Structure 1
Amino acid sequence: MPLLEVKHLTKNFGGLTAVSNVNITLDKNELVGLIGPNGAGKTTLFNLLTGVYVPSSGDVLFEDQTVQRLNGLKPYKIAKLGLSRTFQNIRLFQDLSVLENVLVALNTTKEQGTITGILRLPSFFKDEEVKEEEARRLLVIFDLDEKATTLASNLSYGEQRRLEIVRALATQPKLLFLDEPAAGMNPQETAELTELIKRIQKEFDLTILLIEHDMSLVMDVCERIYVLEYGQLIAEGLPEEIKANPRVIKAYLGGEL
C-alpha cells in the first residue's frame, strides 16, 4: 500500500471544476513534486488533501497502521493522523516569539490531562520542559536557535519561511505538504532551502509533496513529478521525463523547464 492514495479526486465550485479526476500515489519516504502553471489547481488539491475542502467525488486514502479515508475529516483530525502542511501565504503567529510558535505546534501532539494542567503537578512541568527541549532542537536544525526569543514578525522573509516549516515538523508528521516554500526567496535563500528540504526528508523519515514554481529546486530535490493543468493531471514521471515532455512544455507556454 502507498502511504497516500488519491483516487479520481474532483472538486467543483458551482459550475467550475477546479480539480478533475486526479489520481496520485505517494510511497513512504518519497519526495514528490506537484507543478503546473498559475491557476492549475495545485493549492486546491492541497486543500482537498488536508481537509480545507471536501471533495465533490473521489477518495483520499492514508495508510499508516490501517487505511484511513480522509474525505470529510476536519483539518485538525487529518493533522493528528500525521499529515501536516505549510501555506503559500505565511501563517505564523506574528506576535509570538519564534520559540512560542513552535511550542504551539508541539502542544497539538503532546497534550497533558486537564487535571494535571490545572493543578500544575510535577508531570506538567516535566512535560513543558520536554516540549521546550524539542522545540529548541528543531530551531538548531533550521539555524533559528539564536532567534528563539525574537517575535516572528521581526524575522526576515526567508527566516519566516523556515519557521513555518519548523512548526509543521513539530506536529511530527509522516507526510508533509510544502506549498511554494521558496516563494519570495532570493537565489541564496532558495539554494539553502533546497539543501534543507533534502536534509529534513532523510533526518525526519518523511514523505514530502512539494508545490513549487522554482524549477531548479523541483528538478534538484524531487524523485518524481506530477504536472497539473486546468485541474487535470497531464504528466507524471521522473524529472528528466518531465523536462522533455512536449505537453508539459506547451503548458508552460513553450518555455523551457
Structure 2
Amino acid sequence: MSELLKVDNLIKNFGGLTAVSDVTMHLNSNELVALIGPNGAGKTTLFNLLTGVITPSSGSVVLAGKEGTFPLNNKKAYQIAKLGLSRTFQNIRLFKEMTVLDNVLIAMTSRYKEGFVSSILRFPSYYRTEREMKEEAIKLLKIFSLDQQTETLAKNLPYGIQRRLEIVRALSTKPQILFLDEPAAGMNPEETADLTRLIIEVQKEFHITVLLIEHDMSLVMQVAQRIYVLDHGSLLAEGSPKEIQQNPAVIKAYLGEEA
C-alpha cells in the first residue's frame, strides 16, 4: 500500500480551547480506517480539517494523489473535493425536495464541464453530456439498489435509505478518499447490518480509501483494517482492531477504568 494522505502535527484552536492537538496520522491507498473516541474527542473537527470545512491553526495535510503531491491546508472545501476527497456528514445533508437522481446529478456536475454558450444554446454536446451523466448516475444507483427510486423525493425515503443515498452522492464525485461521519447514527440494528455490508462492498468495489467515524463498535471491528483513537483532541492509540480492543489506555478512555 502506498501512502495517500499524510497529516503532520495538526492543531486546531478555538479561542482558548484546543479541539485538535498535535495529530499525526496517515491513510494508505485502498484501505479502510476507523477513527473512534468518546463523545467530544474532536473526531468531527478533525474530519472538518481534513476536508477543508475549517482551516488548521498549524500543522499540515498533504495528499499524494494520482497527479502529484498537493498540500491541502489553504484550500477550500470544493477545491479539496476536486482533488478526490469526498465526505458524508453526521447530520444528513441531502437536497430533500429533489429526487434521488437529481441529488446524484448535482454532485457529478463538478466532473462534467459544459461551456456557458453550449448550455444556453443547447448544442449537441450539451445533450450528450446530460445523457452520459444520467447513465452514470443510474448505474451507480443500481449498485446500491436505488435505481427503482430515481424519481422519489429524498425526503420521502426511509432514514436508512437516505444514508445510503448520501454515500452514493459522495461516490459520484469519484473520490480517492471517502470520509464517512457516523453513517450508522440513528439506525436500527437491521439498518446497521445492511450498512456494514455496504461499506465493505463500497471499499472493495471502488478500490478507494475509506476513513470512518463511528460509535457502533461492532460495525467498526467488522470493517476496519486499522483504527485511530482520539481522546480530548489528541491521538491516544493506533493499531489493528484486536490491538485497540486490548489497549489499556483505550479501555480507560471509554470505560473510565483500568483494563
1:176 maps to amino acid: L
1:185 to 181, 184, 187: 187
Change (3 A) 1:101 1:211: same
Residue of structure 1 equivalent to 2:105: 103
1:31-73 deviations in whole A, cap 9, x for unaligned? 0000000000000000000111110000000011211100021
Residue of structure 1 equivalent to 2:32: 31
Q: TM-score, normalization: structure 2?
A: 0.97
Deviation for aligned residue 1:255? 8.1
Deviation for aligned residue 1:27? 0.6
Q: Is residue 241 from structure 1 mapped to residue 240 from structure 2 by the alignment?
A: no
Residue of structure 1 equivalent to 2:54: 53
Residue of structure 2 equivalent to 1:120: 122
Matches of 1:255 and 1:243 in 2, distance apart? Answer: 14
1:170-220 deviations in whole A, cap 9, x for unaligned? 011000000001111111111111111111111111000000000011000
Residue of structure 2 equivalent to 1:158: 160
Matches of 2:81 and 2:252 in 1, distance apart? Answer: 36
Matches of 2:178 and 2:112 in 1, distance apart? Answer: 19
2:225 to 207, 223, 226: 223
3-state SS, counterpart of residue 226 of structure 1: strand
Residue of structure 1 equivalent to 2:14: 13
2:255 maps to amino acid: L
Deviation for aligned residue 1:2? 1.1
Residue of structure 2 equivalent to 1:213: 215
> Alpha carbon RMSD of aligned pairs, Å?
1.4
Deviation for aligned residue 1:147? 1.1
2:244 maps to amino acid: I
Matches of 1:243 and 1:70 in 2, distance apart? Answer: 33
After TM superposition, which residue ranges in structure 1, 4 or more long, deviate above 3 angstroms?
none
Matches within 5 A, 1:124-135: 124-135=126-137
Which segments of 5 or more consecutive residues in structure 2 lack a partner in the other structure? none
Matches of 2:94 and 2:257 in 1, distance apart? Answer: 35
Deviation for aligned residue 1:254? 4.4
3-state SS, counterpart of residue 180 of structure 2: strand
3-state SS, counterpart of residue 252 of structure 1: helix
Q: TM-score, normalization: structure 1?
A: 0.98
Deviation for aligned residue 1:146? 1.2
3-state SS, counterpart of residue 22 of structure 1: strand
Matches within 5 A, 1:52-91: 52-64=53-65, 65-91=67-93
1:36 maps to amino acid: G
